[in-house]
Amino acid sequence: MSPAAELRPSDRAPGLLLGEGVELPDDVELGGHVIVHAGTRVGAGARLQDGCVVGKPVVLHASSAAGGGDPPGPAEIGAGATVGAGAVVVAGARIGERSVVADQAHVRERTEIGDESIVGRGASVENDVRVGSRVRMQTGSYVTAWSVVEDDVFIAPCAMFTNDPTAGRRTAGIELRGPVLRHGCRIGAGAVLLPGVEIGPDAFVGAGAVVTRDVPPGALVVGVPARVVSE
């Protein structure tokens, strides 16, 4: 069935298109031209802003690395959460209560985001990521697939994570490994985290640093490659 075949115009808001079986409580605030795909569950008091797309079915390119997980269920948008203008939340993503997926941001399948967290404007959280509560992923930041981001982490604008040590030439037995960000750590603007690095609790990665190895708890690292300057 074509994606359009399952969408039907709804009188609830101008330009609203709904798939089958969408849960959409009466008090959800709806912008214009919103699209909500089949089966999506939206919590009370949520906001779906202009032109956002929620529950987009997963269609993977043949060569994509994201095909390994379980087939995603519906998207879930928590009570009081916001999906911004032009944002896309893919089927199987779960957005916690009062969290914000800001304008033009993107959250992929099987990714879970806790409560009161922010995915900044234009930021991207790939598939199979675990994000805690009160996490701030600022404008334009990039959280790669299979990352782990614990509670109260701060990711500054345009920080970038990687998960593939082979840069696209994996063979059997080489897994993608996203970074692991422990509780309360902070990642500076434009910093680059290499595959699988662990950033200790309350550590601070300076702006523009390139992190090639684990960062101890509470440490400050800066530079290319990043070196510890205080602990």
Question: Alpha-carbon distance 61 to 200, whole Å?
Answer: 35
CB of 70 to its own copies, least distance (A): 21
- Among 167, 131, 168, 166, smallest CA distance to 146 is for 131
Q: Who's near 99: CB < 8 A, 6+ residues apart? A: 78, 81, 82, 113, 114, 115, 116, 117, 118, 119
Tokens 């680059």 belong to residue? 192
Helices (H) and strands (E) in the chain, counts: 0, 30
Task: Give 122 or 200: the residue with its C-beta nearer to its own copies.
Answer: 122
Task: Give 148 or 222: the residue with its C-beta nearer to its own copies.
Answer: 222
Task: Give 61 or 173: the residue with its C-beta nearer to its own copies.
Answer: 61
CB of 171 to its own copies, least distance (A): 14
Structure tokens at 131: 């994000």
CB of 26 to its own copies, least distance (A): 11
Task: Give 77 or 158: the residue with its C-beta nearer to its own copies.
Answer: 158
CB of 29 to its own copies, least distance (A): 5
Task: Give 41 or 108: the residue with its C-beta nearer to its own copies.
Answer: 108
C-alpha 60: how far from its chain's center?
17
CB of 94 to its own copies, least distance (A): 18
